[in-house]
Structure 1
Amino acid sequence: MQESTALITDSYGLLAVLVLIPATLFYLAENTPLKAFFQKVPVLVFAYVVPSLFVAANIIPSEAPIYSDIMRFVLPASLLLLTLSIDLKGIYNLGPKALLLFFSATAGIVIGGPIALFLFQSYLPEDIWKGFAALAGSWTGGGVNFVAVGVAVGASESMLGMMVIVDVVVAYTWTGLLMFFASRYKRIDAGNQADNSMVERLREKVETFQKETARVSTTSDFMVLIGVAFGAAWLARQIGNWLPPIGGIFDSFAWMIVVVTAFGVILSFTPFRKYEGAGASKLGTLMLYMLIGVIGVKADFTLIAEYPMLIAAGATWMLIHVIIIYLIMRFTRAPLFFMAVGSQANVGGVASAPIVASAFHPALATVGVLLGVAGYVIGTYAGLLTAFLMRLVAGG
């Protein structure tokens, strides 16, 4: 499709569309009778899909300079804001079983990806490993890691668009199943002889934490957050340009993402962490939805018919992940809550892990945020590790 034929082609108009789409979706999800529907199908799904439909309807183009600008400037700032709030001690205090299930879920993605690639690569496009590497970033962290790893390995925009299709079809099918299982967690935990008292203690701790940290944001808060986010992103970019490239995986952009993630973790141990109460992660999530929209415009859903094996490969990958975490849950007699949230924190990230957590109890949503933010921290690293393994499988 030629850009000049689209209804909206100017940068201001495209930026407005990329902001208005998630804004409209969130309004519908919170203030209309569709609220119940969006509780079953998260806004995140439509934040991917609607921009692609706008492209198909010739409302916006699939290519525009503003898209790459958003990637370059918004991505690192978003990542810093989302990692700024990480509470490493809080995550540790969730208990060894919660952390074991979380890291087992990560391992399931890292292991399952190369296996799925080995089984299906002869049926898939050349250099598909690059797209799968980006998907590994998403499935071990979130949308921000998807973009970061994809750009780091040199995945084309069309390849990333194909991975969006796999993500929407496979990952959100799994999310729906997790929410279905959540409604039956007591029966499942009883059958597994799991001690559910840990979940109840978590609920009480989370409710206390929410009451202690909630405050009204000020103009000063937002000025500091914006300044720190873009300032750290710029500094990380300068350091990334200075550091040497490593093989075909780490270039200056990959280094920038690694460095800005490290900045976020370091700042989480300083007084800056208090800005989470002022909405640091909310501002980071707002930026994330802009990034999701940019990726969404690249999604070509006609590719499902062209590459049905692509969906099959993604489903096989997810099945390996599920088998690993299920066996760990059964072996350790861990509550379903830890398995479900640990998995979703990896596969869906901070945008959807709270949704799955709140399906068990609304007060537990923050647990999903904690593990989801942890996913942002390790997602890029795990994604790059998976990229290395996939490159070996592909013979690159």
Structure 2
Amino acid sequence: MIAWPAAVLGLIVAAVLLAERRPALQHFFRWLPVPLWCYALPLLAAELGWLPREPAPYRLLTDQLLPLALALLLLGADLPAVMRTGARALLAALVGAAGIVAGVALGALLLRDALPPDAWKGAGALAGTWTGGTMNLLALRTLLSMPDPLFAPLIVVDAVIAYGWMALLIAASGFQRPLNAWLRASAAPDAAERLSTVPGARAGSSRLRPLLLCGVGAMALALGSRLAARHLPTFLLVSSATGWTVLLVTTAALAFSLAPAVRRAGAHGTLLGYPLLYLVLAATGAQARLDALWSTPAWLALGVIVVLVHGALLLLMGRALRIPLGTLATASQANIGGVVSGPLVGAIYHRSLAPVGLLLAVAGNAAGTYLGLLAASLCRLIGR
């Protein structure tokens, strides 16, 4: 057994990220994404006895790195740019997010006999990742003190549902003419939705100085949030000081991102933020057990219910307001798929929708943790 699990997890994450950059493997990683591998490979290593099962080193890694990763990823969130994507695109994203929360609540009600105890925590985490992303999934796991057997199936379900839904949206792009006719909409996006560039770090600018500034700021936020969390009372939805740390650092980073200077420096934070986030995910995978995946079918059924409710609400709203299919599909994948696949689906419908998909996904990252808490609260009330 390896004595230094943190080093091994770092090597696994580095190997996956290097493999993902190889052109020959990019299509492969499009359908089996990086987060899935960062979770599955440590899980298999632990099952084979190559990594220890003791939770202490993994919990220490998570407690230290997750707040820092969240700060790095959120300090560059360009929320003002999101407001420039156009009223119909924003409305589609909001209705899509509402559909996910409603679908999770309905699915938890219909499947309450098939889902495990405390399923409201897992349902809230899925709502968080399908309105935001992996960052929100991990944040909610910590906020809700989710046990590993409950968390393990969620990674598989997240990947299957998100990429299955993306395949359906891509296939629907071949039927834009009849579907837009049913929606009573034109195929072209609104002028306000035509964003030729995505705000962020300037091309050719030096990355070192803003990266250092972002790193120092993120560490200060994480440390300040951790100190403040020690003095706050816990309750059911925020059941530990670590949970409070996650919630405080999320809120503080979003507040600071409204300052243009902070946002410009924070745009470089993803260079460190995503590797740290994947390291937290790897630590989570090392604590999981394969036998926990037996509950996956029930969670997959919940995922199907969620996307059906989400899709139905978007189509009804689109028909009522004559919103074109491209805008609906871009907002939908920005919800469920996130910052990688949202722009991809948008570009398939209309090249000008790619930056819209990215900005809507960024907004989802900002709101996903809060929406996940809302969904968890609803599911807990339903399960009483």
Class of the TM-score when normalised by the shorter of the 2 chains: 0.7 to 0.9
Match of 2:184, SS state, is coil
Partner of 1:167: 158
Partner of 2:342: 353
Cα 1:118–1:90 shift into 2, 3 Å? same
Asked whether 1:179 is paired with 2:170, we answer yes
Match of 1:158, SS state, is helix
Cα 1:70–1:327 shift into 2, 3 Å? farther
Task: Provide the rounded CA distance (Å) in 2 between the counterparts of 1:167 and 1:364.
Answer: 24
CA contact (8 A) 2:9 2:282 kept: no
Asked whether 1:264 is paired with 2:258, we answer no
Task: Provide the rounded CA distance (Å) in 1 between the counterparts of 2:19 and 2:51.
Answer: 18
Task: Provide the rounded CA distance (Å) in 1 between the counterparts of 2:327 and 2:111.
Answer: 31
CA contact (8 A) 2:38 2:281 kept: yes
Match of 2:275, SS state, is helix
Cα 1:302–1:319 shift into 2, 3 Å? farther
Partner of 2:213: 224
Task: Provide the rounded CA distance (Å) in 2 between the counterparts of 1:319 and 1:360.
Answer: 21
Task: Provide the rounded CA distance (Å) in 1 between the counterparts of 2:142 and 2:284.
Answer: 12
Cα 1:335–1:283 shift into 2, 3 Å? farther
Q: Which amino acid aligns with 1:275?
A: A
For normalisation by structure 1, the TM-score amounts to 0.85
Partner of 1:274: 264
Count of matched residue pairs = 383
Asked whether 1:158 is paired with 2:152, we answer no
CA contact (8 A) 1:80 1:261 kept: yes
Cα 1:306–1:386 shift into 2, 3 Å? closer
Q: Which amino acid aligns with 1:356?
A: V
Task: Provide the rounded CA distance (Å) in 2 between the counterparts of 1:87 and 1:360.
Answer: 24
Asked whether 1:25 is paired with 2:25, we answer no
Cα 1:146–1:35 shift into 2, 3 Å? closer
Task: Provide the rounded CA distance (Å) in 1 between the counterparts of 2:198 and 2:127.
Answer: 35
Partner of 1:144: 135
Cα 1:248–1:48 shift into 2, 3 Å? closer
Partner of 1:326: 315
Residue 64 of structure 1, CA deviation:
4.8
The range that moved more, 147-156 or 163-172, is 163-172
Partner of 1:70: 61
Cα 1:63–1:359 shift into 2, 3 Å? farther
CA contact (8 A) 1:138 1:146 kept: yes
CA contact (8 A) 1:82 1:376 kept: no
Asked whether 1:207 is paired with 2:185, we answer no
Q: Which amino acid aligns with 1:70?
A: L
Q: Which amino acid aligns with 1:128?
A: A
CA contact (8 A) 1:249 1:384 kept: no
Task: Provide the rounded CA distance (Å) in 2 between the counterparts of 1:181 and 1:155.
Answer: 36
Asked whether 1:314 is paired with 2:314, we answer no
Task: Provide the rounded CA distance (Å) in 2 between the counterparts of 1:285 and 1:326.
Answer: 33
Q: Which amino acid aligns with 1:392?
A: L
The range that moved more, 226-235 or 162-171, is 162-171
Residue 208 of structure 1, CA deviation:
7.5
Question: CA-atom RMSD, angstroms?
Answer: 2.8
Q: CA offsets, 1:327-355, max 9 Å, x none? A: 22222221223322322222233343333
Q: Which amino acid aligns with 2:264?
A: K
For normalisation by structure 2, the TM-score amounts to 0.87
Task: Provide the rounded CA distance (Å) in 2 between the counterparts of 1:35 and 1:195.
Answer: 33
CA contact (8 A) 1:183 1:360 kept: no
Cα 1:193–1:365 shift into 2, 3 Å? same
Q: Which of 53, 70, 91 is the matching residue for 1:79?
A: 70
Task: Provide the rounded CA distance (Å) in 2 between the counterparts of 1:102 and 1:317.
Answer: 15
CA contact (8 A) 1:183 1:359 kept: no
Q: Which of 350, 373, 383 is the matching residue for 1:384?
A: 373
Task: Provide the rounded CA distance (Å) in 1 between the counterparts of 2:331 and 2:360.
Answer: 7
Q: Which amino acid aligns with 1:19?
A: V
Residue 263 of structure 1, CA deviation:
1.9
Q: CA offsets, 1:63-109, max 9 Å, x none? A: 55443233212222222222222222221121111111111111112
CA contact (8 A) 2:85 2:192 kept: no
Q: Indicate the percent of aligned positions where both proteins have the same amino acid.
A: 31
Task: Provide the rounded CA distance (Å) in 2 between the counterparts of 1:296 and 1:343.
Answer: 28
Cα 1:53–1:183 shift into 2, 3 Å? farther
Task: Provide the rounded CA distance (Å) in 2 between the counterparts of 1:179 and 1:9.
Answer: 46
Cα 1:328–1:56 shift into 2, 3 Å? farther
Q: CA offsets, 1:302-330, max 9 Å, x none? A: 55555533322232233222222222222
Q: Which of 92, 101, 113 is the matching residue for 2:92?
A: 101
The range that moved more, 255-264 or 302-311, is 302-311
Residue 191 of structure 1, CA deviation:
4.6
Partner of 2:231: 242
CA contact (8 A) 1:84 1:267 kept: yes
Cα 1:42–1:148 shift into 2, 3 Å? closer
The range that moved more, 284-293 or 37-46, is 37-46
Task: Provide the rounded CA distance (Å) in 2 between the counterparts of 1:222 and 1:25.
Answer: 24
Residue 41 of structure 1, CA deviation:
4.7
- Structure 1: which 5+ residue stretches go unaligned? none
Task: Provide the rounded CA distance (Å) in 2 between the counterparts of 1:299 and 1:166.
Answer: 15
